[in-house]
Amino acid sequence: MNQNLQKLFSVAQKNEKLGIGLMSGTSLDGLDIALCRFTGNGLKTQFSLVKFITIPYREDFKKDVQSIFARRDADLEKVCLLNALIGSFHGELVLQALKEWDIQPAEVDFIASHGQTIYHAPKRLHQKPGYPNATLQIGDGDHLAIKTGILTISDFRQKHIAAGGEGAPLALYGDVLLGSKVGENRILLNIGGIANLTFLSADGDADKILCTDIGPGNTMIDAACRRYFNLPYDEDSKIAFSGKVNDALLNTLLAGLFFKEQAPKTTGPELFNLSYLDEAQRQSGTEGLSAEDIICTLSAFTAKSISDFILQHFKADDIRIFTSGGGARNIYIINYLKKALPNADIKDTGALGIDPDAKEAILFALLGNESLCGEPLKIGTNPEVLMGKFSFAV
């Protein structure tokens, strides 16, 4: 038998696996690296987070990725070059983390890498007849595997799309496996670049599960901070608290067609970006708004789109909400949600024993474990598939 297939078979049969999940989000803060220990699979999965680190990206690397991110006119040569570079670079960061943790690469059974999304194009967004849902993550798995010497699983979203999904949000699988509790209605709310949630019914009925994008998370706030203040984000919501919500602009932002579409649905910075803001300001006649008021209004936009969705779809007085992602630390957004949903119990996923910063990296480690030894899971209306492509180290 081919030695790579023998290795794959051997790893898949292990009772306990040590896997690394990698997540690089649209905010481009850095690479989240979660080292997890797994036993079992599917609904019987048991896991522990062994180590976690976020390694910040250099500014030159961020600018390189931003030059092609969510751009229809992206330079194809740059896309090609970055596909290889990101895979190798992420491998270097994994080795850096392992060295810091005093763990040898040979001790790790697999890496599960999300890659770097550069474009997300569901049919509802591109509206081109004859073309399917599509998404593109770069950071080639072969480069990662060769750099680290570790079996790598990557490109998870393509199978989801090929089987009829939109390639997102994939949080559903991890949320169901790690966050369900009979007797409690739960929402696992991730506020990353885009905000998404998974609703888990107290009666355990899989048909009631809903996983969907809601709207912008941090993406428009961060972009406006870069434009107006040359800052990567609004630290401690200081700018938001120094401004005032402009109702005319807020209502125009919330009037977008995306918010009228039926869930489940997906979106991305291809829609929610500074052009969306500029057009909303033009329509609402608020072009002269101060930068502080813009940041404040965008923060309210994120929070209100979340609270409105929850109020429209669930009984907010009988629900526990667990937050994760960078937005879980956004004081303005969380305060807004607590006021808008006064009867909901809102905490971050730390209350579940899941580091809110590590949650998405853990998710991909979990998906990697399923790729190795799981069976396709039927959850709600999502495709019943196993995801990920394998790259061997030799």
DSSP 358-369: THHHHHHHHHHH
Q: What is the CATH number of the domain that holds 312?
A: 3.30.420.40
- Residue 355 Cα distances to 53, 150, 247, 305, angstroms: 11, 25, 35, 25
Are 194 and 273 within one domain?
A: yes
Neighbours of 163 (CB within 10 A): 13
Domain holding 219, by residue range, is 185-317
Q: Is residue 71 part of a domain?
A: yes
- pLDDT value of residue 329: 94
Same domain for 252 and 305?
Answer: yes
Report if residue 284 sits inside a domain: yes
Mean pLDDT by runs of 10 across the 394 residues of the chain is: 90 96 91 97 90 96 94 95 98 98 98 96 92 96 98 96 88 83 93 94 88 95 97 96 98 97 92 97 98 98 98 87 95 98 95 92 96 85 88 94
Sequence-distant (≥ 6) Cβ neighbours of residue 333 within 8 angstroms: 191, 237, 299, 302, 303, 306, 327
Identity of the amino acid at 145: A
Residues 157 and 221 reside in one and the same domain: no
Structure tokens at 353: 């024993």
Is beta strand 320-324 parallel, antiparallel or unpaired with respect to 186-191?
parallel
Same domain, 238 and 127: no
User: Residue with structure tokens 């059974």?
Assistant: 109
- Do residues 360 and 297 both lie within one domain? no
Question: Which residues are documented as binding site?
Answer: 25-32
Q: How far is CA 126 from the centre of its chain?
A: 21
Dihedral in degrees, nearest 10, Cα atoms 328, 332, 335, 339: -130
Residues 370 and 224 in one domain: no
- 335 alpha-carbon distance from chain centroid: 22
Asked whether residue 348 is domain-assigned, the answer is: no
For the beta carbon of residue 345, count every other beta carbon within 10 angstroms.
15
**Torsion from C-alpha of 295, 296, 297, 302, nearest 10 degrees:** 90
The reply to whether 106 falls in a domain is yes
Residue 202, classed as helix, strand or coil, is coil
Residues 165, 166, 170, 176, CA torsion sign:
negative
What contacts 200, CB < 8 A, 6 or more positions away?
A: 175, 176, 179, 180, 181, 185, 186, 187, 188, 209
Residue with tokens 């073309």: 131
Identify the pLDDT of residue 182.
Answer: 87
326 domain residue, yes or no: no
- 170 shares a domain with 121: yes
Residues 14 and 156 in one domain: yes
One domain for residues 152 and 246: no
DSSP 138-166: ES-HHHHHHHHTS-EEE-THHHHHHTTS-
* 40: in domain: yes
Helix 274-284 with 219-229: angle, nearest 10 deg: 80
The residue from 289, 317, 345 where one domain ends is: 317
Residues 121, 222 within the same domain: no
Which positions make up the binding site for ATP?
25-32
* Number of structural domains the chain divides into: 2
Q: Which residues lie across from 191 on neighbouring strands?
A: 195
Residues 218 and 254 reside in one and the same domain? yes
Residue 180 is assigned to a structural domain of this protein: no
Residues 374 and 295 in one domain: no
Residue 197: inside a domain, yes or no? yes
Domain boundary, last residue among 260, 287, 317: 317
Which H helix or E strand runs over 371? Answer: helix 359-373
Q: pTM for the full model? A: 0.91
Last residue of a domain, one of 317, 347, 371: 317
- Give the other-Cβ count within 10 Å of 171's Cβ: 24
How high is the pLDDT of residue 94?
98
Of 379, 385, 369, 288, the residue nearest 111 (C-alpha): 369
